Structure 1
């Protein structure tokens, strides 16, 4: 027996070791997918894999990947194909980092590192996975890239992060136009302030200043983003392509 909105699909999730990425793995597994938890921190990825179990499937794996390195991404996707005899048809790019500082004090290395992981990493994973999908004649693929509301609004101290996430949205729209002919959709999810290890680094008094500007008067939970991603990964969203869906609490 099998059920769930992504039953039988193979899903490759980066940034799976914590936060939104971990919640995505849990929701996709609950909805019947075979999940590859991918993270630069291999131990955290294994921990996520250990949290994934459901009544239908016990076929989840974890892989270590540095999304900013083409060789590492190629190896990870090859490992997935070896394990399942086919590439993933769902790809979620959740790997992301921050290196915050005021623009005039921003170290060039930290600017580059954030672009390399958040934007170039998304490009490398999408390029590698989609090549494999097309080679395997997969015609119902879904890619979900995680952007950020600060990519639309900007944010003090985040010139690198906001630029990388604006780039992810524009990249997503282009990918959607190029891959539509192959039956592979590409969408972006745009979270607002979500409780995660990334926001845990923000002082509580700063967060308390942000909350009054959120219509629902609270921060979001990683699962609330993951539920939207599961819908986009499923065939229920079959005509949504090139979209950016905000999950911000207004």
Structure 2
């Protein structure tokens, strides 16, 4: 019989992980409010909208210690007269010092994509709430594992786009793994679908899934009431703790 991992170390680690990510969520919320106010007050045109997005996207990507690898806005078809999906997204590649804008003008490029099936679009547009997607491999920009935080932008009660940020998983690992190493048992950070973000167990790769019916039930409780801290034993000797309002959770001892 495995002993349940007790003590303050898991609670402190969950608090610190939540504290690391909360400013990023708060920033996306601020961008959402900014764009919603802008769209309410100004007749949208591509030039004006893009300048508004660039006003917060470029500084966010220029922060020396920032976690974001991409920031921007994706507008639904019909937002701008005569346009399909409108993409105002900037990203920073590798060691590049200057962000570049995601190109949508090449044949077969992103202007032909239907983003409605993508989780980062589909979930917030359905729930009208902020959402965290991933980890998944971002083949469009950085060709690496990312998490994506998106929030719906509404006009007259209708979702007309999403604003958000991509976070490189390897940068997150460098910040978050030191918070997990004081825990004596294996510790894995997962999203609300039990997909691994990072782990002190090297066998658990980012993007893989921890398969457990009991864990799935515990994470469902977290999704149903994100405001209530979660700290439960979901299997013999294993524990899951929510990380603030980030929608991520620590799985310990499994």
Structure 1 length-normalised TM: 0.29
Q: Which structure shows the bigger proportion of residues in strand conformation?
A: 2
Structure 2 length-normalised TM: 0.28
Q: Which structure shows the bigger proportion of residues in helix conformation?
A: 1
